[in-house]
Amino acid sequence: MKKEELKQMKFPKQLKIGGHIYKVKIEKESNVAVSSACGKTEREKGEIYIKSDLMETEQMATLLHEILHVINGELSDSLVEALSQQLFQVLKDNDLQFRARLKQ
Ligand SMILES: [Zn+2]
């Protein structure tokens, strides 16, 4: 994926995960309020926070990280981090956009 294409990728404002709607918010580090984490999810509020000062690629990987936590809250953080980084690389480098493909 080229740099220009990556820049055009818009962050979703909300996501449906497991039948629930989660708002996605890009927030300053102080608002995310989790030391050493790039994001966090508050299931009670239905909100996913991503730190605003991360590289764009790290924000995308962090969104996948938080999605995996919502899908399965039992997975360890290190496993979720490894899966999200690897999944992000595969999706990005192979330009996978399932919805666009399914619409053809
Ligand atoms: Zn985590």
pLDDT digits (tens, 9 = 90+) for 11-41: 899 999 999 999 999 988 766 665 567 899 9
Map tokens 């820049």 to a residue.
7
Q: Can you give the pLDDT at residue 90?
A: 97
Q: Which domain holds residue 96?
A: 3-103
CATH of the domain at 86: 3.30.2010
CA of 71 to the centre of ligand 1 (A): 12
Q: Can you give the pLDDT at residue 79?
A: 97
The total number of structural domains that make up the chain: 1
Q: Can you give the pLDDT at residue 29?
A: 72
CA of 9 to the centre of ligand 1 (A): 23
CA of 4 to the centre of ligand 1 (A): 29
CA of 81 to the centre of ligand 1 (A): 7
Q: Which of 32, 19, 93, 35 is nearest to 63 (CA)?
A: 32
Map tokens 């309020």 to a residue.
33
